[in-house]
């Protein structure tokens, strides 16, 4: 396996751990106001974080017996990510009667923001350290 892929795997492992810490802290901040807001924040962030974890697993950590191209694996992982996201949002909307929708979407978009920015910041930090 190439050194670049191993480095990316380590970076994404670290980014996912760091993101989980941020999301737990966000839910703890929600407890300052009300437990229902904290639950909505937590569920919103999980509706974004869990599909991202599935995507990362599918791309970097799954060993496929089939010889498929990287783009096929990427598109398949992205499709699974969307399906899981839609399923989680529908299940949460149906299953949690006292959901605060604003708090839910604040958590959801905060997790999306972390999904995008954490790997970029970690890569920039690694480049600065290597120079």
* pLDDT tens readout for residues 13-56: 888 898 889 888 888 877 887 888 888 989 999 999 999 999 98
pLDDT for residue 83: 96
To which residue do tokens 């599918």 refer?
A: 58
Q: How far is CA 16 from CA 42, 49, 66, 84, in A?
A: 16, 9, 27, 17
Local confidence band at 109 (pLDDT 50, 70, 90 cut-offs): very high
Interacting residues of 52 by C-beta distance below 8 A, sequence separation 6+: 16, 81, 111, 115
Q: What span, in angstroms and rounded, lies between the C-alpha atoms of 71 and 98?
A: 41
How many residues in the chain?
131
Output the six-digit token pair for 33. 């106001």
């Amino acid at each position: 396996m190439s050194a670049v892929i191993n480095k990316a795997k380590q970076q994404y492992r670290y980014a996912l751990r760091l993101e989980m810490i941020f999301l737990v802290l966000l839910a703890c901040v929600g407890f300052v106001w009300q437990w229902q807001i904290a639950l909505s924040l937590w569920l919103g962030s999980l509706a974004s974080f869990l599909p991202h974890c599935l995507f990362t697993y599918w791309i970097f950590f799954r060993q496929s017996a089939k010889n498929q191209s990287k783009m096929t694996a990427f598109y398949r992982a992205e499709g699974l990510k969307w399906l899981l996201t839609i399923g989680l949002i529908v299940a949460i909307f149906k299953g949690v009667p006292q959901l605060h929708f604003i708090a839910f979407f604040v958590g959801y978009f905060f997790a999306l923001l972390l999904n995008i920015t954490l790997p970029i910041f970690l890569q920039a930090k690694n480049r600065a350290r290597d120079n």
